[in-house]
Structure 1
Amino acid sequence: MATSTTEQQRGFFRVESAEWPALLLSFAYFFCVLGSYYVMRPVREQLVAAAGSTSLPSFYLATFLVTLALTPIYGALVARFPRKRFVPIVYAFFILCLIAFIPFFELQGQLNPKVLGGVFFVWVSVFNLFVVAVFWSFMADIFTVDQSHRLFSVISIGGGLGAIGGSLLAGSLVGHIGIAKLLAVSAGLLGCSIACIAGLVVWSRRNPIEKGVDRNEVVIGGGMLAGARQVFASPFLRSMALLLLLGDGVGTVLYALQADYAKTHFPDGIARTEFFAHIDLAINITQTVLQLSLTPWVLTRLGPVIAVIAADAVKVAGLLLLVLVGNPALIAVALVATRSFAYGMEKPSSDSLYTRVDREERYKAKGFIDTAVWRLGDFTIALAMNGLRGLGVTTTGFACLATFAAGGACWTAWRLRGTRELAAHANR
């Protein structure tokens, strides 16, 4: 659907009357998904801090291997079932797993923190990758290019508010109900997302992108490993994978540095949970402000590529501050700045680019990039950090390397403009 200059000038929050039900359901869907994740996220972080960041390479390797094993299973679901079935199946699986973890957290003090921390870290990391990847693949499959430019930043606000709500729930409830019962709260929020999916299936049937085609009933087909093959074959998808890896270089470095800081200053599990919940809250408030103000303007007026470049430029600035000052206390400041722009501007912008590829690439190739490629990057970066520590690299040195990664992401995003997929939609 083409977007004229006149339409763009009508406002970056323009919503057509027929789009309101889908917008509200998508908003609520993302609220529930990220609310669920951010209730359990500080539980994971306090376990990582207890084990120490030197354990991260083994955690990331296990996550990568599990993700690699699950990727063809997910590909098989996509290939054999219509989206109205395989999307809810993914969420139901993770709800059952969450419930199964509750008894183990009741015994947390009696279990080896590295064992419990490793298993839960892997599971939450896989959870985050798959439920969020499925969400954005679903969004890219029910909205047009024009709708993605206008609506994705608004939908992202729902996720930002869910993340704020989840962080607040975790920080305020953990001292009263304990860590184990937080998982039940998380499972309840994720269950609500399935109801939103059902509503979106009904809306998309009434408002199809392709006239006469109900995508809810169409089986995408293809092979289980098609996503990996597509990434290697397509210059656009290879660039998207590289963009993700460079962003991961920033995120993983700061994540590891923050884990070490928390281990030193917060030896108690509940205190660490509250600390990470407060960090998450600051990030989520900042990214929501971005999604309400700057992101929709940049996305609709300047386009998704410029939005990605702007977000990575802010990361460069935040990391340079850490490099120049060198105070470990500024790690939290750099983490808030980089993650806020990563999820408040870069993520909705880069995800909108997938409206330009076909359905199989939206679910399979994007799923492969957002899961297996991401976790391979985590493992490689964390392992390299352990090696560099042995060579005497400090916080300042790691911040320098992360700065180069953010700069490389700016260049990679700029080069996306020349790919066939973006050239075909230059005026959309």
Structure 2
Amino acid sequence: MLGFAAPPQGWIPVSLRHNARADEGNGLTLSTLAFFLVMAGYYMIRPVRDQLGGAVGSQSLPLFYAVTFGVMLLLTPVFGWLVAHVSRRRLLAWSYSFFIVCLLAFVPAFVAQERIGARMLGVVFYVWVSVFNLFVVSLFWSFMADIFVSHQARRAFPLIALGGMGGAIFGPLLTRYLVQVLGVAPLLAVSAATLGLALLLLLRLSARDERAGDTSAAQGTGGSLWAGIRELWSRPFLRYMAVLMLLGDGIGTLAYALMADYAKAHFADRVARTAFYNDLDLATNALGALLQLTLTRWLLVRFGAGWGLVVPALVNIVLLLMVAVFGTGDVRLLGMIVPLLGVMLVTTRGFAYGMTKPAVDSLYTRVPRETRYKGKNFVETAVWRFGDVLVTSGVSVLAWLGVGVGGMGLIGAGVATMSAWVARRAGRAPDLAKD
């Protein structure tokens, strides 16, 4: 193996520690470049997905999320079977290849979007992008947690995430140009090409790991198909992660739903909506990259991954209190007048991607391999999408009851306060292996 993966007991022989120091740089380079490509491809299809939400407004989001949640529950045992019985290399190859083919198949559907309808295409594409997240983005980080040990992860994951942020900035920049020249549908083919390049790098990384003696990578994890659900109830750390996911989703989805109504009211065609959401993604990822360059790595190395969960929650409290006070007003930022809701969306997402995500994935290096794949992916897909359904339905009910943006901001601030408390406990969960 590359020298990164720890045995179940968390002990590493001296010879492997030497190999880890020798090979960590090459593994880090391959991982960072692969994540750059994954995120570049992903952020080409995100604004394509989001413009569908902007076309129908927040009232249709509960339907999108409900269908997605149902599909996630159906896919949980399928993913559990694959992880249990298929080698890591085949799991990567089959998953990524499937989505490359799907991306190409969606091209003619988006050419015919006006005939199909944004609502129908939106349901299908929302579900598909969520499955994409399970088998591509989340699987990538499960793989990373499999080949890095905890102390390396705190150093390496912010840098790998920074590479992803580079891709997440490059993707929207390329999209901004291509959507004007080519339109929406061809973006999917470009995304498929970047995903194919990422797969080649990940297969090379896995092959190096196997040649170095990681025999566990050549076989599945074994265990139950339903281990992801079972471990949610048996592992305190996963329970904290699930609660933290729901609370964080409450904040993020609230901002997203409010922004969907804004986009519906201000942008009439899909090209304008795609460009708008693309600019939001660009600002979000620029903030995430800045955090990873300046604060995140220092915080994780100096104080531990737990604080990488607490700090974003504290930032969210401040932002949501501002929304509670100022509502939908505008603010002056960097010499520009921008909607406060846009600032909230960009900042909450920027801290989530630039700090929370590397911290969470660092903590997953301290759990068994089966938990890294099955438990982690269940929390990051089914639990996440359940939160989407819960929050969007709640926003609709609150709006029906006459609760305005200020009131929703105050409720969100309370949710963020609870999130800070849970985040602090998650970093000290009793079932985490010693650092």
Partner of 1:330: 340
Matches of 1:367 and 1:117, distance apart in 2: 23
- 2:104 pairs with one of 99, 113, 117: 99
Matches of 1:370 and 1:91, distance apart in 2: 18
Partner of 2:239: 238
The 5-angstrom pairing of residues 78-93 of structure 1 reads 78-93=83-98
Work out whether 1:368 is the aligned partner of 2:378. yes
Are the aligned partners of 2:306 and 2:428 in contact in 1 as well (CA < 8 Å)?
no
One-letter identity of the residue aligned with 2:240: S
**TM-score, structure 2 normalization:** 0.91
Which 4+ residue blocks in structure 1 deviate beyond 6 angstroms? none
The 5-angstrom pairing of residues 9-408 of structure 1 reads 16-207=21-212, 213-328=214-329, 329-408=339-418
Q: Give the root-mean-square deviation of aligned CA atoms.
A: 1.6
One-letter identity of the residue aligned with 2:122: G
Matches of 2:187 and 2:54, distance apart in 1: 19
**Displacement, 1:171?**
1.3
Distance 1:143 1:206, change over 3 A: farther
Are the aligned partners of 1:130 and 1:371 in contact in 2 as well (CA < 8 Å)?
no
Matches of 2:427 and 2:200, distance apart in 1: 38
Partner of 1:10: none
Residues 44-102 of structure 1: CA distance to partner in whole angstroms, max 9, x if unpaired?
11111111110000100000111111121111111111111112211111111111111
Matches of 1:344 and 1:272, distance apart in 2: 25
Matches of 1:334 and 1:71, distance apart in 2: 32
Matches of 1:90 and 1:101, distance apart in 2: 17
Matches of 2:352 and 2:279, distance apart in 1: 18
Partner of 2:15: none
Matches of 1:23 and 1:36, distance apart in 2: 20
Residues 190-210 of structure 1: CA distance to partner in whole angstroms, max 9, x if unpaired?
111110111211232355xxx
Matches of 1:83 and 1:334, distance apart in 2: 38
Unmatched runs of 5 consecutive residues or more in structure 1: 4-14
**Displacement, 1:408?**
1.1
Secondary structure of the structure 2 residue equivalent to 1:216: helix
**Displacement, 1:407?**
1.3
One-letter identity of the residue aligned with 2:364: Y
Residues 387-428 of structure 1: CA distance to partner in whole angstroms, max 9, x if unpaired?
111100111122222222211111001122442234x41xx3
Are the aligned partners of 1:21 and 1:203 in contact in 2 as well (CA < 8 Å)?
no
Residues 284-311 of structure 1: CA distance to partner in whole angstroms, max 9, x if unpaired?
0110011111000000000000111011
Give the % identical residues. 47
Unmatched runs of 5 consecutive residues or more in structure 2: 1-5, 12-19, 330-338
Matches of 1:287 and 1:218, distance apart in 2: 35
Matches of 1:296 and 1:404, distance apart in 2: 28
**TM-score, structure 1 normalization:** 0.93
**Displacement, 1:213?**
4.1
Matches of 1:333 and 1:52, distance apart in 2: 20
